[in-house]
Amino acid sequence: MSSYPQPALAQVSSMTSAAAAEPARAVAFQGAPGCNSHRAALEYDPDCLPLPCFAFEDALDAVREGRAARAIIPIENSQHGRVADIHFLLPESGLSIVGEHFLAINHALMALGEGPFAAAYSHPQALGQSRRYLREKGMVPMAYADTAGAAAYVRELGDPTLAAIAPKLAAELYDLRIVEDNVEDADDNTTRFVVLAREPLDPFTLKDQKTMTTFIFEVNNVPAALYKALGGFATNGVNMTKLESYQTGASFAASKFYVDIEGAPGEARVDRAMQELAFHCKYVRPLGTYRLARSRG
């Protein structure tokens, strides 16, 4: 908690106490109160008790240790790609993906004064998503750990020549003036979040619903292994909406892959594709099956 700017500490303390009283309703998120992950938690479950955590790992630990029933983590943005390295974080946490949520991103410029402003603080993603606006206004982008934390930091500094780029909720929480709304460069800016819990959903409970399944795998280190491993998804008509490679360790011997597919275990076409995948892999590790929140394509 001490890593937050002073104006955020009272909010963090209050929200942490409320979550501790009813952990079954708590949803952990990374960032200071008022950030986009806070917004996402409230949109996903308006009845939840948002629990702010300083780092992604802290949010996952809150679920793993029973201080929150779920965590909501941003994993990719429509403009700037990957947000959190969920393929590194999730396997080590022992948690499962139980949902997804898409959040429309709207940034506001907020400050104590009316301008002009020498610099604007925000998360690097938000700064990148408002790059043209900042250039046109002649403001120096200054990176901060998260958007709402930047707003709290500007309040703490008390300098009217500094601004923050953050959700409007942050201006309400930290008593800042919204100088201009919707300063993002693209009006279709969207971030995808995943919802994590200690126990996976039973795919049978999602029967007759559109579903997503997420898993990681490592192919055998032989020529054309990936080509052969993925062939089963094509021949069985399974739509793969995400395939991302990543490396662990220093050997660089073989890539691991993070995958999203439409469908669930128990469907014949999915089971056949997964069986063919497993034949060409060292391992396949499921990360969760959950309801599809938005149609792809």
**Residues annotated catalytic, as ranges:** 191, 193
Taking CA 259 as the corner, what is the angle to CA 42 and CA 84, rounded to the nearest 5 degrees?
45
**Is the backbone of residue 69 left (phi > 0), alpha (psi -120 to 50) or beta?**
alpha
Q: Which two tokens stand for residue 193?
A: 């979040």
Q: Hey, which residues does 111 pair with through a beta bridge?
A: 163, 177
Q: Which residues of 13-39 are buried (b: 16+ CB within 10 A; e: fewer)?
A: eebbeebeeebebbbbbbbbbbbbbbb
The rounded Cα 157 to chain-centroid distance in angstroms is: 28
- Count CB neighbours of 227 within 10 A: 10
CA 243/CA 240 separation, integer angstroms? 7
Residues 6+ away with beta carbon under 8 Å from 170: 32, 33, 34, 35, 110, 147, 148, 151, 152, 164, 176
Would you say 12 and 59 are in contact if contact means Cβ atoms under 8 Å apart? no
H helix runs in 53-198, sequence order: 56-64, 86-93, 124-129, 131-137, 147-157, 168-174
Pick from 73, 72, 63: which is nearest to 23 by CA?
Answer: 63
Q: How many residues does the chain have?
A: 297
